Amino acid sequence: MRFLFCILSLFVAFNLCGKEINVTYPNCPFNLQLIVMRHKGLLEKEFAKDGIKIKFHNITNGVKQAKAAATGKVDICGSLNTTSIIVAAGQNIKLNIIRAVCNPTDTLALLTTNPNIKSVKDLKGKTIACVSKHSSHQLLLAVLARNNMTIKDVNYIPMSNAETYNAMFAGKVDVGILAATEVVNAKKRGARVLTTAKGLIRTKLVVAVNESFAKNHPDWVGRYAKVQNEAMEFIKNHKHEALQLGAEDLGISYQDAEWLYNNTKLINTLSKDDIMSLKDDIDFLLQQKLIPKRVDILSQGAAIDILFEDFVRDQISICAVNSRSILDAFNKSNDKCLRHN
């Protein structure tokens, strides 16, 4: 028996050797849980006992995160906007949402330095830049639709957040759609906010993994969620230190970090309103031809108190789990949080 135990121990050690979990680390918008997790080494501490290393990847673009997860380059998208998940689903890139991060609706905005643009009603014929296939892109489409315009009524140029910021102040674009730190910095330089996302779209950032990772490592998924809970508790109990970490990580002042915190609703679980808005997002993005086909939402095996009677199977699985039952939800069955075929 002792011999068999030794063999088993060697087998486990061999299989854990060289294991690592690859996590995306986007620095926008204000992903404070992720910042705390990284700078306090919380994930490393959780997985060190199993010899599993944590490797962070600075991938900010949502679609690039989804593709990196689909190809196995990364295992966990630490903070990913749901618009990009829907767009990826339309391209048959299937991700599982395992946790929520925040609702940064008030920190996503259309800004301008053009004195001739007084409001969003003046956008016709103007040059506008933002991240493509992202919540910024969805916000632009929503603003135009609200004012009886389409993307054909403006000169739209897809750019990253940093490129949009620089182009706006270089006078190369009339309007930029920016998020978080870029909004803060742009306002300091005199840019005017035409509108935020509030009342137009409900922005949602989540943690996502590909189906294979969720199926093969449900315990790792559960432990990641547990660590995010710990980060939220740290923020709650050590707010000043957490905001200082955020300020240093993003290269902004403590006051700016505090403004971002106050205007970014940190969450661990998608609410009923969040999930219902996902269905609205899908309908809108299909109407706007940002996705080629309808993708439906399924809450198969999720430990949440919301029922979806009319949502059928397809690419996206919603696994926004209740913090009290996260470990049970993932340890009971390897089929938890997987798309039901």
User: How far, in Å, are 1, 210, 225, 232, 260 from residue 263 at the CA level?
Assistant: 59, 30, 23, 16, 5
**CA distance linking residue 121 with residue 137, whole number of Å:** 18
Query: pTM for the whole thing?
Result: 0.83
Q: Which residue has tokens 């940064």?
A: 104
Q: What is the pLDDT along the chain (341 residues), one digit of tens a residue?
A: 444 444 444 444 434 445 999 999 997 789 999 999 999 999 999 999 999 999 999 999 998 999 999 999 999 999 999 999 999 999 988 888 889 999 999 999 999 999 999 999 999 999 999 999 999 999 999 999 999 999 999 999 999 999 999 999 999 999 999 999 999 999 999 999 999 999 999 999 999 998 889 889 999 999 999 999 999 999 999 999 999 999 999 999 999 999 999 999 999 988 889 988 998 999 999 999 999 998 864 444 433 333 333 333 334 554 444 444 444 544 444 444 434 33
Which residues in the chain are classed under CATH 3.40.190.10?
16-104+204-331, 106-196
**CA distance linking residue 101 with residue 105, whole number of Å:** 12
> What percent of the residues of the chain are helix, what percent strand, and what percent coil, each to the nearest 5?
45, 20, 35
The CATH architecture that domain 106-196 belongs to is 3-Layer(aba) Sandwich (3.40)
User: How far, in Å, are 15, 54, 75, 134, 193 from residue 18 at the CA level?
Assistant: 8, 11, 15, 35, 49
**CA distance linking residue 78 with residue 88, whole number of Å:** 16
* pLDDT (tens digit per residue) in 261-310: 999 999 998 888 998 899 899 999 999 999 999 886 444 443 333 333 33
Say if residue 189 is exposed, middle or buried (CB neighbours under 10 Å; 0-12, 13-18, 19+).
exposed
Q: What is the CA radius of gyration of the chain?
A: 21
CA terminus-to-terminus distance, the chain: 42
**CA distance linking residue 327 with residue 238, whole number of Å:** 25
**CA distance linking residue 173 with residue 148, whole number of Å:** 22
**CA distance linking residue 131 with residue 140, whole number of Å:** 10
**CA distance linking residue 231 with residue 238, whole number of Å:** 10
Which among 259, 276, 282 is positioned nearest to 181, based on CA atoms? 259
CATH class name, domain 16-104+204-331: alpha beta
